[in-house]
Chain A
Amino acid sequence: MKLPFRRVAQAFCLIVFLYVLFSGGWSDRADATRENNLLSGPLGLFLRLDPLVGISTTLAARAMSWSLVTAGAVLLIGMVFPRWFCGYICPLGTLIDMTDWSINRHIKRFRLKSETRWFYLRFHLLVGILTAAVFGVLVSGFAAAIPVLTRGIVSLAAPLQDGLFSGRASAVALTGGQIASIVIFVGILALGLLRPRFWCAYLCPSGALLGLAGRLSLFRRRVEPSCINCGRCLRQCSFNAIAPDYSTRDMNCTVCRNCEAVCPKQAFRFGWRWNRKQKASGDPTTTASLNSRRLFLLSLIGTAGTGAAAAAGIRWERGRYTNTFPIRPPGSLPEARFRAQCVRCGECLKICPSRVLQPSGLELGLDGLWTPTIKADIAGCQSSCTNCGQVCPTGAIRNLPLEEKRAARIGLAQVNETTCLPHAEKDVCGLCYEACAAAGYHAIEYRRIGIQYDNRNRPIADSGFLAPVVLEEKCVGCGLCQASCYAANVKESELLEKAAIQITAGTGREDRIISGSYIELRNERTRLRQPNPPAQIDNEYLPDFLQ
């Protein structure tokens, strides 16, 4: 039997996608995460291939990113082979094919009778997303194929992987944001009940982009005059790419060549555009649901207006949360820019070895949904890890070298002196100190407090406590201190209600720069801290008066 090339390509891409996504999740150590992952290169590759990711983030952030280059490449190829990505590469399409074949085709009751009115929905989605992006609000994460897929799988399967296999102690309950991601993902698969590949043919905005490129495609399906109008290809095509007059809808055709197999006359060729011999076409139905092309364009303008209004609404809503400062992963761009560039795919959440990155729910507003935040009660940001920056497909988290990451301030730790055990003179405790020293930051030191003195005014040996103090100039806000305080004093011994050392972000507590070096920024700050460097005192070790 001839091995169908398309199926092989689909299976290969799906396996690579899943392997890359999950290979990193078996260990809670950053270095092991990288070692286990043989394919560290393609992390986030599929996200970069999704053309909508690159284009929408570039529009929203008004800045170039590498994902725009890959998006452009994908679209260019799409101009030669229409929607090749959808038919051969897209792992979401493959999963949809699999569910359509295994489940959906057995359930007939939801099948659509008429499909034409769904036909242009994806262009409305696309126009809405791009308009919102032009107004600086990135919503492609809600609908673009690969982000929706990645986030859905991460939300669904990562907790299972953690709980069942890698035995992480810090398994975290599903949040509302994760459940929403799962619902969207499963919903897309379930759309196959309406008709096969419903999502791809009618809704997917990434597919719409590729379809536009497909209009120009050089390689396409050509119907020859030998066609006998039997209708078999029409029923076979899951992309609705064959019009009732058997001509090809180039915006839908993925050159999957399934029709080829059912045609009794071999009445069409897949070949270059300039091949002659073509059946006369007279497709009456593509715009049948709309009275005219003009009306369609008008409706698109309406959608664009809606997109702009939604963007304005989201921006207004963002204003209500200006005093909420999420702790972002190290290397995150300034907040507004970050939100415009983060496509909410969830790759960083998956690759984070200690699961300290968690998707936010609505606590940062609608605009903050699914963005990665550091929840330092769960764990701290490991000092030897730069994974999140490596996988971020859009550069919302900069890919920092380790030394830079260790200088990038994401927040500042603050000791609560009324609850902290030694500060309250209740018990000996140095967990935060140890965690900070072990990570090599040495940003916490001790003060001896509560000393009692004897009658000769000398400190009594056994008196007082060593209480932790944060050295502001050294703290990067990694949260390792908070995590160890929480684990021991809140969760285990229940001495405290919340960790007595807390990381907070906000102006003056974090560095968010678009480019440049965090190390230099730190050095600069150190210089500013001492406006008048103390006069260099050059004391002779053995002064003359003692010789």
Chain B
Amino acid sequence: MNTDLIIKYIAVLMASGFVFCGLQINGQTGAHKTQAEADEAIRTAGSTSPEWWDSVELNYPETLDLSWPVRQGLQGPGGGGRGRGARGTGSGTASPTNVDDYLTQVIYPNPPRYKAGIRLVHHLMILHKDDSDKLRRSLNMLGDMFYQLLGDYARAAFWWQKYAQMGGSVDPLKMARCYHELGSKAAAEALLASLDSNAARNNRDLVKLWARIGEVDKALALIESGFDGQSGGRGVARGLSQSDKYLLSAGILRAAGRYDEAIVLYEKVLALPDSAMQPVRRNATDGKDKARMNIATIQHLKTLDIKRIPDGSYTAVVNAYGGPMTVKADIKQGRLVSVDILRNSETFSYLIMALPTTREIVARQGFEGVHAVTGATVTAEAIIHGTAKALSDGMK
């Protein structure tokens, strides 16, 4: 029998096992991996094709320009352009010819197209293997798609490592997240520690990652360190207002299951003078609204026991970034089997950023360790709130 095939088969099994571990237990029982072991895992799991690979055909419109030129800003035909002025007659839905436009306009908005999109970028990578610039672009994009669209951390890390080998620079926070999800606290911690001093670009993600890998007190201390009256200082929390700090810390405490401490902080937000609040755009919620919603979430979480909820679909309508949002949670035999966002008016890019939250809640069968996504906090917290509310309705 063909040994290659057997090896490949075992590798696929291992790969799915890793993904499974990454999502299921994540940093608890598997947290002991060393950096080397984690890299080994990325090599084995990441270098094999995902199990859906052969069932998804390479499929793209004939008009697509596979030479993959950089999109030409405002002159771009095919509906690139900007806003309503640039759109010609009825060209709004014509398939774009530019690959980048095609990905942004057609692939990213449609989850059923994610896998075909990944195959397309993979195909581009092979087409342009001799053009180092385009090769780098495709490697980075593959990492991003596996990470963002599928939550496949092993393969995301694998392609990003290839990208880094070719001289690309990978966001260390995302890489740390991959290590964490693959069960290596050590590797994640090493990456994060190297970032501490120079205050990463996205310091909120940094503290959340510290909390994610289990160092909650370190995260809280980092938020606190930048405060103490030196608002212009160099700390992690530089640029954060007092209410932001409370909200950030409270969110971390909530995700760590330290509900009472979280509520204390949320109540501190409510006690701040109104003048200290900056309204969030669009639906005019501010920090106090966030605090109120999260207190309500915690009240639900305190009594929640998914195992005791009878089978069924539970929905809740909550106020999100763009308006009301309906969240549906399905329970089957004491397990949370899915969380779906139904009717909503969220801005697409925020929804797509916050969508992994639904996957995470299901994978963890609860809310511990589920952090609101930075940049789409309102939407993500609304998803958490909506799921908690729907499930606690199911408890009755």
Contacts and interface: CB of A to CB of B under 8 A. Distances in A.
Contact of A446 (B71, B90, B110, B119): B110
Interface stretch (B215-223, B271-279, B346-354): B346-354
Nearest to A431: B343
B60 to A, nearest CB: 9
Contacts of B47: 541-542
B215 to A, nearest CB: 29
Nearest to B86: A450
Contact of A546 (B73, B79, B104, B162): B162
Interface string B99-125: 000001110111011000001001101
A445 B112 contact: yes
A118 to B, nearest CB: 63
B104 A459 contact: yes
Contacts of A451: 80, 82, 104-105
A453 B87 CA distance: 15
A497 B122 CA distance: 46
Given A428-B322, A434-B342, A543-B129, A449 B105 contact: yes
B182 to A, nearest CB: 18
Most B C-beta atoms less than 10 A away, residue of A415, A428, A448: A448
B93 A417 contact: yes
Contacts of B348: 446, 448, 464-466
Contacts of A434: 342-343
Q: Name the residue among A461, A465, A545, A546 with the largest chain B CB count within 10 angstroms.
A: A546
Given A434-B343, A461-B349, A537-B58, A449 B92 contact: yes
A111 interface: no
Interface residues of A, number: 37
Interface in B31-85: 47-49, 53, 58-59, 70-71, 73, 79-80, 82-84
B92 A467 contact: yes
B123 A448 contact: no
Interface string B346-374: 11111000000000000000000000000
Contacts, number: 95
B299 to A, nearest CB: 30
A224 interface: no
A104 B109 CA distance: 69
A452 B349 CA distance: 13
A492 interface: no
Interface in A509-547: 534, 537, 539, 541-543, 545-546
Contacts of A415: 93
Contacts of B93: 415, 417, 447, 449, 467, 469
B349 to A, nearest CB: 4
Given A541-B53, A543-B126, A453 B82 contact: yes
A423 interface: yes
A417 B92 CA distance: 8
A447 B71 contact: no
A542 B322 CA distance: 42
B108 A457 contact: no
Interface string A368-403: 000000000000000000000000000000000000
B345 interface: yes
B92 A423 contact: yes
Nearest to A426: B84
Nearest to A469: B93
A77 to B, nearest CB: 53
Q: Among B49, B104, B119, which residue has the most Cβ atoms of chain A within 10 A?
A: B104
B110 A462 contact: no
Nearest to B346: A428
A425 interface: yes
A447 B348 CA distance: 11
Contacts of B122: 539, 541
B105 A448 contact: yes
Contacts of B49: 541-542
Interface in A428-484: 428-431, 434, 442, 445-453, 457, 459, 461-462, 464-467, 469
Contacts of A539: 58, 119, 122-123, 126
A366 to B, nearest CB: 38
Interface string A406-421: 0000000001010000
B105 A445 contact: no
A406 B58 CA distance: 27
A448 B104 contact: yes
A462 B346 CA distance: 10
Contacts of A462: 347, 349-350
Given A428-B345, A428-B346, A448 B112 contact: no
Contacts of A429: 345
Contacts of B125: 543
A428 B92 contact: no
A445 B113 contact: yes
Nearest to B71: A457
Contact of A450 (B84, B123, B129, B342): B84
A155 to B, nearest CB: 36
Interface string B324-358: 00000000000000000011111111100000000
Given A541-B48, A543-B129, A445 B109 contact: yes
Contacts of A449: 79, 87, 92-93, 105
Given A423-B92, A457-B70, A541-B49, A442 B79 contact: no
Given A447-B105, A450-B82, A453-B82, 6 more contacts: A445-B110, A452-B82, A457-B73, A466-B348, A534-B59, A539-B123
21 contacts: A417-B90, A423-B92, A430-B343, A431-B343, A446-B348, A447-B106, A448-B108, A449-B87, A449-B93, A450-B82, A450-B83, A451-B82, A452-B83, A457-B70, A457-B71, A457-B73, A459-B349, A461-B375, A467-B92, A534-B58, A542-B49
